[in-house]
Amino acid sequence: MRIQRPAINSAATIGWASQFPYKVEFATAANGKVYNLTIRFRYTEEEIANGTLTQKSIDWVFPNMLVSNPSQVTTIEKEIDGEDFYKFVASKIKEDPSVERFAGSMDFIFTAGAEFLANYISINQATTSILTTIPQYSNVEGGTGIFSSRFIQVSPNKFMDAPSLDLLRTGPYTGNLGFQ
């Protein structure tokens, strides 16, 4: 797997305030069947009364993406609407007038899993059928479990651009959260 955007070694900023979606791109790995993106947003809370600083983070986990032919390397693009970022932050961080908050960096965490892992995830997802028991899946002979692989690659320490930070401070979804 190779991350193309946001580039691992790039100092480019993330523009959530743009009218256009932010595009994430990566090349699939040979034999990778299931892919996942998690965006970890770090921030600091400062207690107004005593100045105590607390480092915090929230993880925005996107639905799994499956590829039809894991032996063929392809490019996957995921467009993320900036408004959804602010809605996510508002859903995870509660208003607290006793703290001021400061936005930190974001990590874009990409995970790839092999076909056996994809099968296991697919079988064990919540179902709306009338089945009352979850079917067991195992690829281990003489035992129960799965033997598979996964790969994680991170594009770390990405920061929001100035318009995105301004919208975090004053926008309709997060303006009441005390970001400075």
Per-block mean pLDDT, blocks of 10 residues, the chain (180 long): 79 90 87 87 97 98 81 85 97 97 96 67 58 56 62 90 97 97
Q: Provide the pLDDT for residue 30.
A: 77
Q: Provide the pLDDT for residue 102.
A: 98
Q: Which residues pair with 104 in a beta bridge?
A: none
pTM of the model: 0.82
CB-based contacts of 69: which residues, under 8 Å, 6+ apart? none
| Residue range 2-114+150-170, CATH number | 2.60.40
Residue/partner pairs of 17-20 with CB below 8 Å, 24 or more apart: 17/82, 17/161, 17/163, 17/164, 17/166, 17/167, 18/82, 18/163
Q: Provide the pLDDT for residue 67.
A: 73
SS3 9: coil
Q: Provide the pLDDT for residue 126.
A: 55
For 180, counting Cβ atoms within 10 Å of its Cβ (0-12 exposed, 13-18 middle, 19+ buried), the class is exposed
Domain boundaries, the chain: 2-114+150-170
Q: Provide the pLDDT for residue 36.
A: 87
* Residue 93: both structure tokens together: 């961080």
